[in-house]
Amino acid sequence: MDEVRLAQRARDGDSDAFEEIFRIYHARIYNYAYRLVGNAEDAQDLTQESFLKAYRALLRGAQPVNLSAWLYRVASNTCMDLLRRRRLIHWQPLENLLAVLNVNVAGARSPEEEMLRSERRAERQTEIERVLAQLPPRYRMYLILRERESFSYQEIASITGDSLDTVKVTLYRARERARQVGLELRSGSEES
Dist. CA 19–CA 62, nearest whole Å: 17
Dist. CA 96–CA 32, nearest whole Å: 16
Segment 122 to 181, residues that bind another protein, using CB under 8 A: 124-125, 127-129, 131-132, 138, 143-144, 146-148, 150, 153, 161-163, 165-166, 168-172, 175-176, 178-179
Provide the minimum distance between the beta carbon of 192 and another protein in the complex, in angstroms, as a whole number. 22
- Residue 115 or residue 164: which is nearer to another protein going by CB? 164
How many residues in the shown chain lie near another protein by CB under 8 A? 71
* Residue whose C-alpha is closest to residue 33's, from 86, 87, 74, 1: 74
Segment 20 to 49, residues that bind another protein, using CB under 8 A: 22-23, 26-27, 30-31, 34-35, 40, 43-44, 47-48
Dist. CA 47–CA 86, nearest whole Å: 17
Provide the minimum distance between the beta carbon of 108 and another protein in the complex, in angstroms, as a whole number. 14
Our CA angle for 51, 56, 62, nearest 5°, is 100
Segment 6 to 25, residues that bind another protein, using CB under 8 A: 12-16, 18-19, 22-23
Dist. CA 22–CA 30, nearest whole Å: 11
- Residue 108 or residue 128: which is nearer to another protein going by CB? 128
